[in-house]
Amino acid sequence: MKEYLEFAKKLAKEAEEIALKYFSFETKNTWKQDDTPLTKADTEINDLVIKRINENYPSHSILGEEKSNKKEGSQYVWVCDPIDGTIAFSCGLPIFVFSIALVGQSNGQPILGLINDPIMKNMYWACKNGGAYRNSQKIFVSKDTTLKNTYLNTGASGEDVGFSPLPLVKSLSEKKCTQMKFPSFIYGGVQVANGKFVGAVYYGKYAHDVAALKILTEEAGGKVTDLHGDQRRYDQDGLGCVVSNGIFHDEILECVKLGKL
């Protein structure tokens, strides 16, 4: 596990160099078929991830947002979002991260997760049963016992998974919990493990948006499920994600379920 972690950290720093090379107000982008932006940084980092994993762990599969490399019978798959927050990145706004997780193919659960914020120089990482860290400091979820005067992050529209976020938004407002929504869900979602937010709800299907958050949050003492409150796999599409400090998980889930379409 130590070897995998050092590999992931080194890869994240290489990805950081590419991201910062392209990041500016003049960043150009094209548009993908799903009408989301794509930059050279996205594709170069995704290609780098595939190259480095094939060099070091040729039997491992790769599931990337822009490009994947799946191998028959592989024990592990690296699940990567080269730049989460491409909308912000393409506008020259410093709200984006690199995310990667090592997921076991037998059960679809991550055993390692890493999220790197190249602007603030914060690298979040966790290994199974090893705790969660921001750089060299161990981190923990918040101990808040009331939603009043707390923060919760939401992401995606809900169309992909058949949920509307409106009931949750209404409930949070009534409870005086401030909803925050970033152009990078992972950027806000990791703040649950970091102890700044009490929860985060992802109304999307993609594994690359939540795989690293899963293990980071749990190793920091929190809880992660899908939108129904069930376990999900992180090597394939799934039914969204609810990330919390554990204290409010059931309360958040009840509000989320009210939005089932």
Q: What is the pLDDT along the chain (261 residues), one digit of tens a residue?
A: 999 999 999 999 999 999 999 999 999 999 998 888 999 999 999 999 999 999 999 999 999 999 999 999 999 999 999 999 999 999 999 999 999 999 999 999 999 999 999 999 999 999 999 999 999 999 999 999 999 999 999 987 778 899 999 999 999 999 999 999 999 999 999 999 999 999 999 999 999 999 999 999 999 999 999 999 999 999 999 999 999 999 999 999 999 999 999
CATH match for 2-139 among 3.30.540.10, 3.90.1560.10, 3.40.50.1100, 3.40.50.720: 3.30.540.10
Angle formed at CA 142 by CA 212 and CA 136, multiple of 5 degrees:
55
Q: In CATH, what number does 151-257 get?
A: 3.40.190.80
Nearest to 239 by CA among 252, 221, 251, 257: 257
Q: Where are the domains of the chain?
A: 2-139, 151-257
Q: What is the DSSP string of 82-113?
A: EEETHHHHHTT-S--EEEEEEEETTT--EEEE
Angle formed at CA 76 by CA 221 and CA 78, multiple of 5 degrees:
70
pTM summary value: 0.96
